[in-house]
Amino acid sequence: MSDHNELIHHLYHDKDYNCAITTLLCLGKEFGVEINQQVLDSAVCLNGGGRFRAQCGLVEGALMFIGICATARGMKKKDMMKIAYGFCEGFTARFSSLLCRDLRPGGFQKDDPKHMCEPLTKETVAFAVDYLKPYFS
């Protein structure tokens, strides 16, 4: 597995990308899948639903990647859905929730520093890579 810690830090602090975009780009790098700009643009609001604290962008980015990578590899939709379901099931078992409001350290405060989910991102990207390897390697 590639070490994504430096890439995650760079994408958060130098590019100011959100968690969904960061996850997409890390998974793309790991599995050799280019993520185009239109896809990145579509993920701009996937940070808990525009900070609504809904489904976590770390989950949404991985789910987007599953669709992109599975399609590129010619998988059937039903197989993609099984991979996504299993990912969400495993993610919930490991991290206790799929919701940003539950996963974000300390919830949301007006004076929160940017990218406070960086440590969690490192864990979730590693989890996603390990989960997806049997399907996409």
Calpha distance 81→112 (Å, rounded): 35
Query: What are 85-119's pLDDT values in tens digits?
Result: 999 999 999 999 999 889 987 767 778 788 889 99
48 pLDDT above the threshold of 60: yes
Cβ atoms of residues 26 and 49 within 8 Å: no
Dihedral of CA atoms 35, 5, 108, 61 in degrees, nearest 10, equals: 20
Quick one: pLDDT at residue 24? 98
Average pLDDT, the chain: 92
Lowest pLDDT segment from 5-19, 46-60, 88-102, 123-137: 46-60
Residue 2: pLDDT band (50, 70, 90) is low
Number of domains in the chain: 1
Nearest to 132 by CA among 76, 65, 39, 46: 65
Calpha distance 37→137 (Å, rounded): 24
Mean pLDDT of 20-49: 94
Nearest to 12 by CA among 31, 25, 29: 25
Taking the model in full, what pTM does it have?
A: 0.93
Tokens coding 66: 């599953």
| Boundaries of domain holding 118 | 5-136
Quick one: pLDDT at residue 110? 77
Quick one: pLDDT at residue 1? 42
